[in-house]
Amino acid sequence: MKGKGETMKNPILRNGVRILRPSEFRLIVDQIKPDYQIMFKTLLLTGMRFVEAKRFQNHPEWFDGDFINLPSSAMLKKKAKMSERSIRLNNLGRTLIPIFLNLQRDLPTRVSWREDLRRWAINVGLEPDGLSAKTTRKTWESWLMFYYPERRLEIVLNQGHTDVTSIKHYLNLAFTNEDKVAMGEYVSGW
């Protein structure tokens, strides 16, 4: 499918999860309601797992103005590589977090979020294949790895992964130079 007059490239999928290009992210975010825009952008710019973001909404004290400091209780992932981690934010992320924490609604369930993502994608002419609650986290790590390959270790630690996980899932994706330029709007200053 093509979105709003654009020629869309093939969707990027890793292990069945969709990784968005900046143009695809922009198409979706531009047509959703403001509260959902904040949620969608926050999930992207933090790279948090969906459950971590849901818990974070109830714990604004985890945000110190520069980083989100996730305790082990935020994760609930049995195979997590790190029990605690600090999430680096760029200026855009630091500006967005207080707005996210003051939303009058919580993130929906993972199932509802997946259905929302798929509906929004279809509405703008994108293939909904692979869109899920994991999409923003995988997209963010992929963008950071593509944009800042020299900072791989820092990115891996920020995401709570290992080098092996990153190499296996987030390197060698079919991003173009045009994608890299567009990523700058989101990753700059990270």
Question: Which CATH number belongs to the domain containing residue 183 in this structure?
Answer: 1.10.443.10
Provide the pLDDT for residue 8. Answer: 61
Considering the domain boundaries, does residue 4 fall inside one? no
Helices 22-29, 34-46: inter-axial angle, 10-degree rounding: 150
Considering the domain boundaries, does residue 9 fall inside one? no
Range of the domain at 97: 18-187
Model confidence pLDDT, tens digit, residues 81-127: 556 899 999 999 999 999 999 999 999 999 999 999 999 999 999 99
Q: What pTM does this model have?
A: 0.90
CA distances for 89 relative to 78, 155, 159, angstroms: 25, 11, 12
How many structural domains is the chain composed of?
1
d(CA 75, CA 84): 8
> 162-166: long-range contacts (C-beta < 8 A, 24 or more apart)?
162/81, 165/81, 166/141
For residue 15, the 8-state DSSP code is T
Considering the domain boundaries, does residue 7 fall inside one? no
**Helix (H) or strand (E) segment spanning residue 69:** strand 67-70
Average pLDDT, the chain: 90
Considering the domain boundaries, does residue 148 fall inside one? yes
Q: 52 Cβ partners below 8 Å, 6+ apart? A: 70, 74, 75
Considering the domain boundaries, does residue 3 fall inside one? no
Provide the pLDDT for residue 136. Answer: 98
Considering the domain boundaries, does residue 42 fall inside one? yes
Considering the domain boundaries, does residue 152 fall inside one? yes
Q: 56 Cβ partners below 8 Å, 6+ apart? A: 48, 62, 63, 68, 70, 74, 101
Provide the pLDDT for residue 175. Answer: 95
Considering the domain boundaries, does residue 1 fall inside one? no
> 116-121: long-range contacts (C-beta < 8 A, 24 or more apart)?
116/32, 116/36, 117/28, 120/28, 120/31, 120/32, 121/24, 121/28
108 in Cβ contact with 116 (< 8 Å): yes
173 pLDDT above the threshold of 80: yes
